[in-house]
Structure 1
């Protein structure tokens, strides 16, 4: 272990020990570090027929594929949802994060959609999944704000998929407008924010207000630049405006941040699981 790494670990540990509040921000890199990868062997092992038929290369780009029929679309999405939400238990990294902060006054904002935080023990009222949730379907055009839990439907779709298609009778239609259904993911202007979403948004804003100017650690986990305005830039700005704040950034590819926050930032490019393990000691 290098002196530099040791110094950073000790600095982050002390900041966490002294903190009155901790705000966790989870991005795609966090789930990838936990083993929920969207490419490589995990992808090829589970999507062989789709790779052969459509030439898919990874789960991220394939989620934007313009399927010609609803039967094809839902054969793919049923497997995508199942693999990332229903076929995987809480991962060690997420469970360790819970152990790290459970005795603190904390909150979580995450752009991830596979419910790993709540699976790992975080209470739902402490987690804001701002970009949606694999558990639910919504009207494709957002004609109403109700979400529909999909676990049993997803399993049936997978069981009855043939040649990368589901039977037509399993294609869901919106019970209000009769149009198509979609996954509850923020990808266009039709994303449905239901009552629970607004309640989570309120709890998050209350936490920000309550912790303003206090000793706080903003712990940014695997957040890149796809949607930097949700976690990355706000964490930087809040750190800048709070003399008692520390920004702890765990990011292999993008550890850089605002120059103005350099002295208040502890950044790690090392393996995320290793860093969290050391912080727990």
Structure 2
């Protein structure tokens, strides 16, 4: 039985909240990049049988024979998980927990759900890129372009796993192919501006009561979990709360200022929200 009172008190007392999120949050929302499940079969069964891809992640990293097929995949994926997305209860609970406090989000999830749920895009660092922007595949320059409207158009006209050649996006500078802005490609353009905003947030709340809330991140994660635990270790007034199903890891040097909650996000976040609202 979780004693929510001391955790809720830390949230109420916090000057700001730093949220770290990875695959566990996406899976809770119904998006599993790694699973050959019923949802994948419904959305991509034809691609699975034609190209042998066994999950969304394999499709994201596939070497497609033609751009028309690559963009048919991306159009379908982005339309379903971004264009048709509506804020889920778990994200509504998270927004309520943050309330009016200042916050920053660092996530390896690329589907853009934080922004689509109304979190301020200037307070989000998508560390491995996102699906709702695209870039030159080479890249010949470092500008990123919106892709959601294009994906909706491609989804409308796709037939048999192909989109019309004239709708395939081309780089406005060099005329070459475009890629979704994501970390699966080695040529992903770094979001330097988001990195700077994140560092400014950390500088602002250095020495203050910072709540670090980690959602659905496995113990081996070096992109978010390891740096956040180091941050907590170096911040005397920080508190660390990690929520994950079946796997809780907290470094020994921050045990005394941490709470590890083993369970489903869609069960524990509503309970945390309720405790914070008392």
TM value normalised by structure 2: 0.90
- 1:238 corresponds to which residue? 231
Say if 2:250 and 2:260, in contact at 8 Å, map to a contact too. Answer: no
- 2:215 corresponds to which residue? 221
Alignment of 1:42-57 (within 5 A): 42-57=39-54
Distance 2:6 2:30 in 1: 27
Deviation per CA, 1:106-146: give whole Å up to 9, x if none: 21112212221122222222222232221122100121122
Distance 1:177 1:253 in 2: 48
Distance 2:247 2:176 in 1: 41
Please report how far the alpha carbon of residue 23 of structure 1 lies from its aligned counterpart in structure 2 after TM superposition: 0.6
Alignment of 1:82-97 (within 5 A): 82-97=79-94
- 1:162 corresponds to which residue? 159
Shifted more, 156-165 versus 177-186: the winner is 156-165
- 1:262 corresponds to which residue? 255
Call closer, same or farther: CA 1:148–1:43 in 2, change over 3 Å: same
Deviation per CA, 1:93-112: give whole Å up to 9, x if none: 11211111122222111221
Please report how far the alpha carbon of residue 266 of structure 1 lies from its aligned counterpart in structure 2 after TM superposition: 0.8
Long gaps (5+) in structure 2: none
TM value normalised by structure 1: 0.89
Say if 2:219 and 2:249, in contact at 8 Å, map to a contact too. Answer: no
Deviation per CA, 1:154-207: give whole Å up to 9, x if none: 2232233233222222222212122211101122342124xxx43322221111
Please report how far the alpha carbon of residue 149 of structure 1 lies from its aligned counterpart in structure 2 after TM superposition: 1.7
- 2:240 corresponds to which residue? 247
Please report how far the alpha carbon of residue 79 of structure 1 lies from its aligned counterpart in structure 2 after TM superposition: 1.0
- 1:212 corresponds to which residue? 206
Alignment of 1:1-281 (within 5 A): 2=1, 6-7=2-3, 9-38=4-33, 39=35, 40-193=37-190, 197-224=191-218, 228-281=221-274
Structure 1 segments (4+ residues) deviating >6 Å: none
Distance 1:118 1:240 in 2: 29
Say if 2:60 and 2:184, in contact at 8 Å, map to a contact too. Answer: no
Distance 2:183 2:52 in 1: 25
Long gaps (5+) in structure 1: none
Distance 1:121 1:149 in 2: 17
Say if 1:11 and 1:266, in contact at 8 Å, map to a contact too. Answer: no
Call closer, same or farther: CA 1:121–1:161 in 2, change over 3 Å: closer
Say if 1:137 and 1:182, in contact at 8 Å, map to a contact too. Answer: yes
Distance 1:135 1:105 in 2: 25
